[in-house]
Structure 1
């Protein structure tokens, strides 16, 4: 039994936090599916910026679309969806075998829409229709402005990956939006099955707090927040409100661990994978982390549904001077700003490549 198999046997889905045209073309993604049991993947503007800037695999597509008059976001969305459709087709057997529970890919909305609720709702519908794949999530940030867009998109039947969640409170706001969307569908006589995941970012907590904390508390905040969120997730699934929806045929919005690559070179490279092993969750891993756990990861047991020692750990971290609520809000803002920066870089990169390719013809 492989190390990754032990996580799957526990009931956790393993997804890839990456997509490039190269791993599609050279069969790497197919090998990850066959050898590692990967059952989904996520993407974001930063991933595509690095993918397009790091190779010439997209040049032909950029040249063709630019010659046809496509520019900026329109060109990028077509380019990204070409990759995501191919990935979605590779995961389609898993999607079918699990009845739509697993086997998903994700496409991020333009981060420029983060504060535009109505624009996000319309863009989510448009991307889902343009993708033409049942197993594609549209990613909407779980910001205060994003919460209504999440609810309205779920009500409209658009599968949503809620991104940029950092705290239990932010997770619960996203979960509440999902529940309201499903309740409204049931009231309207619509199908209650609409896929959704809630993505909690983990390692960024530890990078952001390291300078404020003594060494013995390094790399513990992200895991403690994850434990706290997992407790809230299990409590929600045990609630009467959820049981009523489940009885009507609804499915849970699954909790997904994001940002699970270790950023501290002094910490184990499988730190967050081992700590966040939990049934009914998803761990989306960078390729380096995936390969590391496949090689030498260890399953040390499942997460405690009651939160383990998270309360005591968070108390110690707060006593050391970290304002956890303020940091959660800051991390969400910084995450959104980072995606905006990557988006602008991506648009410029595509424009430069299009111009260069046109000049070479």
Structure 2
């Protein structure tokens, strides 16, 4: 059996952590769907920066945008939506087959808006309307300013992928925002069936402390954070408050594992796939990790424990090694927002450069 089907059979969705026009044009994405059980994908500014920078496949579209007097961000969102709407159409059978649980693509609002709630809400509404696809998530960061934007966007009926979550506490804040948005829709007599996923970043934890802890703790922090968060998810989704919204027709918000490419060359290249296999979750895999899992992935019947496993003990070991988990979670979220903003600025330069040469 193809290893990607093993994950599907335990109840986990595989999404691709990449999008390029070449993947669409050369049939690679379609092959991933047909052969590797891929049922969705995510994008971010860093992904699009690399895609546009290293391909001439966007040149014709850029020329078309220029002829319409567009520039900068307007050109980017046209290019991104052209890719993502095509991808959304490829995933539409999965979306229809699963009644909207699977088959999604994601587009992020400008990361320059990460600390501007009102502008984030406005951008989310505009992009979703522009896409005209039911299976497109708008990505909003789960930071302090993003949380109220998530609630308002859900209340407005916009499917949201909450990005840049790094801890149980950050997840719970995002889940609360989603829940409030749904409860407000129910109170207003609106359809509460508005989908959302919450994206928890994994590998960046292990990169951040790689040279600060003993060898026996290497590559264990991200997984411990994931286990602790998954326990909170299982408890929350079974709570009386959430059960009430299900009874009104709402869906649970799924947990998505992000940043699951292994950075340590001495670690297993499928570490974050093997350790994060769990029902009703999504794992977004870079192409390299997807290929590695398809080639030699094994679970041996083991999935994530719903009670958090040994995460509390492992996290205590990190605390004893001098790692302040709460402070690091805040730091990683801030750094993540900055990295996306830096990629965005670079992306705008790439587009400007291409505008002068196409």
Report matched runs for 1:312-323 at 5 Å: 312-323=313-324
Structure 1 match to 2:56: 56
Structure 1 Cα separation of the partners of residues 199 and 246 of structure 2: 21
**Deviations 1:271-316 (CA, angstroms, capped at 9, x unpaired):** 0000000000000000000000000011141100000110000000
Give the TM-score normalised by the residue count of structure 1.
Answer: 0.98
**SS of alignment partner, residue 197 of structure 2:** strand
In the TM superposition, residue 66 of structure 1 has moved relative to its aligned partner by 1.5
In the TM superposition, residue 211 of structure 1 has moved relative to its aligned partner by 1.1
Q: Which runs of 5+ in 1 are unaligned?
A: none
Structure 2 Cα separation of the partners of residues 64 and 133 of structure 1: 22
**Deviations 1:41-95 (CA, angstroms, capped at 9, x unpaired):** 0000000000001111111111221122110001100110000000000000110
Report matched runs for 1:156-175 at 5 Å: 156-175=156-175
Structure 1 match to 2:354: 353
Structure 1 Cα separation of the partners of residues 322 and 62 of structure 2: 49
Report matched runs for 1:1-361 at 5 Å: 1-300=1-300, 301-357=302-358
Structure 2 Cα separation of the partners of residues 68 and 239 of structure 1: 52
Structure 2 Cα separation of the partners of residues 219 and 318 of structure 1: 15
* Structure 1 segments (4+ residues) deviating >3 Å: none
Structure 1 Cα separation of the partners of residues 74 and 61 of structure 2: 13
Structure 1 Cα separation of the partners of residues 320 and 62 of structure 2: 52
Q: CA RMSD in A?
A: 0.6
Structure 1 Cα separation of the partners of residues 78 and 4 of structure 2: 33
Mean Cα deviation higher: 52-61 or 281-290: 52-61
Structure 1 Cα separation of the partners of residues 150 and 204 of structure 2: 23
The aligned length equals: 357
In the TM superposition, residue 187 of structure 1 has moved relative to its aligned partner by 0.4
**Deviations 1:199-237 (CA, angstroms, capped at 9, x unpaired):** 000000000011110000000000000000000000011
Structure 2 Cα separation of the partners of residues 251 and 64 of structure 1: 40
**SS of alignment partner, residue 92 of structure 2:** helix
**SS of alignment partner, residue 115 of structure 1:** coil
**SS of alignment partner, residue 211 of structure 2:** helix
Give the TM-score normalised by the residue count of structure 2.
Answer: 0.99
**SS of alignment partner, residue 211 of structure 1:** coil
Mean Cα deviation higher: 143-152 or 241-250: 241-250
**SS of alignment partner, residue 40 of structure 1:** strand
In the TM superposition, residue 167 of structure 1 has moved relative to its aligned partner by 0.3
Structure 2 Cα separation of the partners of residues 319 and 178 of structure 1: 35
**SS of alignment partner, residue 209 of structure 2:** helix
Structure 1 Cα separation of the partners of residues 122 and 346 of structure 2: 24
